[in-house]
Structure 1
Amino acid sequence: METQQKGTIESIKKLRIAVVAFELITPNQRTGGVSHFNHRLCTKLSDMGHEVTAITMNSLLEDANYNIKSLSKSVDINKRFQRYYLTALKGRKINFDGYDLVISNGDDWAMRRAGVPWVRIMHGSAIRELQHNHRLLRKMNLSILYLLERYSSKRSTVTLYNSKDTQKLYKNRKQDEVLHLPVDRDLFFPAEKEKEPTILFVGALDSRKRGRLLRNLYVSNIKKEIPNCKLWMVCNRDESIDGVTYFNNLTNEALASLYRKAHIFCMPSTYEGFGLPYLEAMASGTLVVTTPNPGADEILDNGKYGVIVKDSELGESLIASLRNINKYEMIIQRAIKFAEQQSWENIIAKYLTYLNLNNNYEEKQ
């Protein structure tokens, strides 16, 4: 995008930044990728010297280096209607007049903009979630949320899409663009691998992440061909299986350590709007072997930075990769170099360039 955007990260003084982060990490609970993104975004901005306030519905974090405005006292986040609709309506009461910039990560459709530059980050799309969900009530909810996403995108100063696949689902304006999500290079970097051949999975057993598919392949095929192979599954604990280790409620540091030690990362998801775990594996020098989905196809550049195979070929591809991991060294090195460009420093610098982008809407009070 040609730059109506002015200023660089070096020229910007201390800012007051609000981050709409209804999903935020919660102590002793397993939370999703957007929650971790929100926490890292607030932490990095605060580390840079900005005054950051996260607007969330989670409990307060004792070790956060940023301010937290929580709506959790008036909303039961375990009830779907309150989580997706009442929370957003409660957010309309928040006054953003004193902020220099708002970076929003969802559910901001009812909030008053107050003329403050408003960067809306789309981490995926409710319509894609709908296409990969089989529960009727969930589909109805996602249909409504998709319409609200479109409305939210229209009201933002600029909307940043995490992938080309996400972007094409919305009406684009000239200032909107695709900007891939960042990876924390202080956490995710290459190191010595585990002695035994090891596969890492991050997700849920029975969601679109398809952890059970991978585990079944491990039991029926991979373990028989490579007896000393280990499968590390970052998910809720399930039945005990020889060679399978479950990890739950990991710190970011512990998770990053698993990425570094594993030889292969496999998340055979049916849908990823972006697929941050793929990028984290790439930054860790770990070969990605997965099945096709929009996120994997884009972030792996259709096989340039990893291995993408059909479901029917996944087991054999994992076996072949483990037996001759050196064969993929060129792909691994290309992936590391790509991940280096996706650092938090580079992406946050981009976010801050929107400070001087003129709003192209009028807020209806």
Structure 2
Amino acid sequence: MTDITILHLIPNYSQTNLKKGVSQYAKSLSEMGHDVTLVIYETKKNEDENLDIPNVEIDRISIRDESKLIRTTSYILSCDTDVIISQNVLEKRYLIWVALAWAQGIDFLMKIDYTPGIPPLTPSIRIKHRVKLQILSEFCRGLFVPTQNAADELVSIYPKLDHRVQSLPSGYNDEYFVERKESNKSILYAGRLVSDKGVRDLICGFNKIKDEYSNWTLEIAGDGKIYDDMNKENVQFHGHVETQELIDLYAKAEIFCLPSLHESFGNVLVEAAGAETAIISTEVGVAPELLDGAGLFINKRDSDDIAEKLRTYIDNDDKRRADAKKLKQNAKNYKIERVTKIISEYL
């Protein structure tokens, strides 16, 4: 049995974060007999929320008075554990925590939240990344990234990472693998309403075919800063929705469309696939591996291409339904059991 401390240091951690990903493999590792502590940031928004994962201790780092760096560094220095698992972007401050853990004899497993090409790999960025990756490879017992494309790009930057870094997807429990509900002939987008998600392009593409397919609707779940400036004609907005309502929307929709410019992983793609919904997406995040032979790809910032791919699926029920069935099968590769198995190899 191993003492495992998982640092999931995101702002405004809430009960909704307990449904997938880090919280799910915390639960799964505890079920294997390990002593697991999940460490989150405490802010004014979540200080009164009762977060609960069976057999997992929840520890909080208050960041209301002192900086995140100081408080987290102090926590690691006082940490009595065998293994620390952390998910972070590729920033200098996290190198300090890795080195501190190593100095205390604590194994550090780090998942780098890395999106290929973001920011663009200029010569100076490549040099900075290379130095950070060299340090991480020395002090980390295991290095992970969300997708194989991300792993390939990091190896291209620092070739000595070959065979040292591997993809570790977000993990999903059975809650996301549901039976289809009666179709409402809808096209669904779920996510933040920000410019780099390409939602305006989706609305524009849908409006180009709306008159041809008047019994189809476009539904959007999510909120964000561009909502007030969006064209709302012929669109049904649901705003922010909780997990179960979102799963129901997936299960009723015929097509899910993600026109995003970039994603580190793209949780919504696996969620939609688990509900056996056909997917149209840009080649971002997990899309190239999940949709391989089972979905349609669109160009970024191209409403004409979106319109054409929507036509393809709307006009061909057999293809749409066959691809959706393949997607659901592919999505099983991202269940929590696979994630836990990968992590267990390092314990």
| TM-score bin, normalised by smaller chain | 0.7 to 0.9
CA-CA distance at 1:321 after TM superposition = 0.7
CA-CA distance at 1:324 after TM superposition = 2.4
**Which residue matches 1:158?**
142
Check 1:52–1:148 CA distance in 2 against 1; reply closer, same or farther (3 A cut).
same
Provide the rounded CA distance (Å) in 2 between the counterparts of 1:207 and 1:221: 20
1:109 aligned onto 2:95:
yes
Amino acid across the alignment from 1:189: F
**Which residue matches 1:137?**
none
CA-CA distance at 1:198 after TM superposition = 0.9
1:308 aligned onto 2:300:
no
List aligned pairs for 1:269-280, cutoff 5 A: 269-280=260-271
Provide the rounded CA distance (Å) in 1 between the counterparts of 2:82 and 2:282: 42
**Which residue matches 1:223?**
210
Q: Select 1:71's aligned residue among 43, 61, 77.
A: 61
Higher strand share: 2
**Which residue matches 1:87?**
68
SS in 2 for 1:354: coil
* Residue segments in structure 1 that go unaligned for 5+ positions in a row: 1-12, 77-85, 133-139, 356-365
CA contact (8 A) 1:206 1:212 kept: no
Q: Select 2:41's aligned residue among 47, 57, 76.
A: 57
**Which residue matches 2:112?**
122
Residue range with higher mean Cα deviation, 144-153 or 330-339: 144-153
Amino acid across the alignment from 2:294: Y
Check 1:267–1:75 CA distance in 2 against 1; reply closer, same or farther (3 A cut).
farther
Q: Select 2:242's aligned residue among 246, 251, 255.
A: 251
CA contact (8 A) 1:188 1:256 kept: yes
CA-CA distance at 1:55 after TM superposition = 2.4
CA-CA distance at 1:151 after TM superposition = 4.3
List aligned pairs for 1:160-199, cutoff 5 A: 160-167=144-151, 168-169=153-154, 170-171=157-158, 172-173=160-161, 175-199=163-187
CA-CA distance at 1:160 after TM superposition = 1.3
CA-CA distance at 1:146 after TM superposition = 9.1
Provide the rounded CA distance (Å) in 2 between the counterparts of 1:307 and 1:277: 16
Check 1:56–1:97 CA distance in 2 against 1; reply closer, same or farther (3 A cut).
closer
1:281 aligned onto 2:267:
no
1:335 aligned onto 2:298:
no
Provide the rounded CA distance (Å) in 2 between the counterparts of 1:235 and 1:146: 36
CA contact (8 A) 2:180 2:276 kept: no
Q: Select 2:284's aligned residue among 290, 293, 312.
A: 293
Provide the rounded CA distance (Å) in 2 between the counterparts of 1:101 and 1:205: 37
CA RMSD of superposed structures (Å): 3.4
* Residue segments in structure 2 that go unaligned for 5+ positions in a row: none
Cα deviations by residue, 1:296-343 (Å, 9 ceiling, x for unpaired):
223323xx1211133332112113312323223332222222221321
Check 1:38–1:207 CA distance in 2 against 1; reply closer, same or farther (3 A cut).
farther
SS in 2 for 1:293: coil
Q: Select 2:259's aligned residue among 256, 268, 280.
A: 268
Count residues with an aligned counterpart. 319
CA contact (8 A) 1:274 1:294 kept: yes
Provide the rounded CA distance (Å) in 1 between the counterparts of 2:9 and 2:197: 23
**Which residue matches 1:324?**
316
Check 1:144–1:21 CA distance in 2 against 1; reply closer, same or farther (3 A cut).
farther
Amino acid across the alignment from 1:234: A
Provide the rounded CA distance (Å) in 2 between the counterparts of 1:253 and 1:207: 26
Check 1:292–1:173 CA distance in 2 against 1; reply closer, same or farther (3 A cut).
closer
SS in 2 for 1:250: coil
CA-CA distance at 1:214 after TM superposition = 0.8
TM-score, L = length of structure 2: 0.78
CA contact (8 A) 1:16 1:50 kept: yes
Identical residues among aligned pairs (%): 21
**Which residue matches 1:41?**
25
Residue range with higher mean Cα deviation, 193-202 or 278-287: 193-202
Provide the rounded CA distance (Å) in 2 between the counterparts of 1:275 and 1:330: 22
Cα deviations by residue, 1:204-237 (Å, 9 ceiling, x for unpaired):
333322112112222x223222222222212217
Provide the rounded CA distance (Å) in 1 between the counterparts of 2:79 and 2:232: 56
CA contact (8 A) 1:193 1:261 kept: yes
TM-score, L = length of structure 1: 0.75
**Which residue matches 1:19?**
6
Amino acid across the alignment from 1:68: I
Provide the rounded CA distance (Å) in 1 between the counterparts of 2:145 and 2:133: 12
CA contact (8 A) 1:119 1:159 kept: yes
Check 1:295–1:121 CA distance in 2 against 1; reply closer, same or farther (3 A cut).
same
SS in 2 for 1:110: helix
CA contact (8 A) 1:291 1:309 kept: yes
Provide the rounded CA distance (Å) in 2 between the counterparts of 1:245 and 1:99: 49
Amino acid across the alignment from 1:128: G
Provide the rounded CA distance (Å) in 2 between the counterparts of 1:294 and 1:63: 29
